[in-house]
Amino acid sequence: MRRLAVALFAALTVGTALPATDLLAATPEPAASGFVPVEPHLPAAAARSADGDMAAETASPGTTPQPSPQDPVTRALDRVERDLERARAETQILTESNQRLSELNAELRQELESLAVELQSVRVSGERRAWLYGGGLVIAGLLIGRLLAARRRSSAWS
């Protein structure tokens, strides 16, 4: 995430064009969350070729002529425009991903709370069972002791 932010900041401030593969490679892909990166759909202005070719934009007669494709300011503006569109597409993708992960996080927190309550009830029932076994053993020991003591008195050995 930080690499993506630094790359976008550098692209917008310096005016260098970053290939889409560099921007997409900087985004993390969680394996188990089902996150599938989507290739952003860029508008026609951002879909120009990488060298800033503006051949599709020809001036019609009677209008002011467009700057030449070799003009460095035009190329820089085109690069900034493409980078801005990529950043917008990335922002939308990250926002949607963040929303899905937030929902998943809320579901997992609810499941964690229910499991914690269940664990507490199992611990309480385990403690009760241990007290019942212990009490049962004490009562069984007293009964067996009484039976053996009563048996000795009626014996012919005394």
Task: Return the HEC string of the chain.
Answer: CHHHHHHHHHHHHHCCCCCHHHHHHCCCCCCCCCCCCCCCCCCCCCCCCCCCCCCCCCCCCCCCCCCCCCCHHHHHHHHHHHHHHHHHHHHHHHHHHHHHHHHHHHHHHHHHHHHHHHHHHHHHHHHHHHHHHHHHHHHHHHHHHHHHHHHHHCCCCC
pLDDT single digits (tens) 40-72: 554 444 444 444 444 444 545 556 656 566 788
pLDDT on residue 142: 93
Q: Does the structure show a pLDDT above 60 at 129?
A: yes
The structural domains of the chain, with segments of one domain joined by +, span 2-128
Higher pLDDT, 24 or 71: 71
pLDDT, residue 60, reads 54
| pLDDT band at residue 147 under the 50/70/90 scheme | confident
pLDDT at position 57 is 47
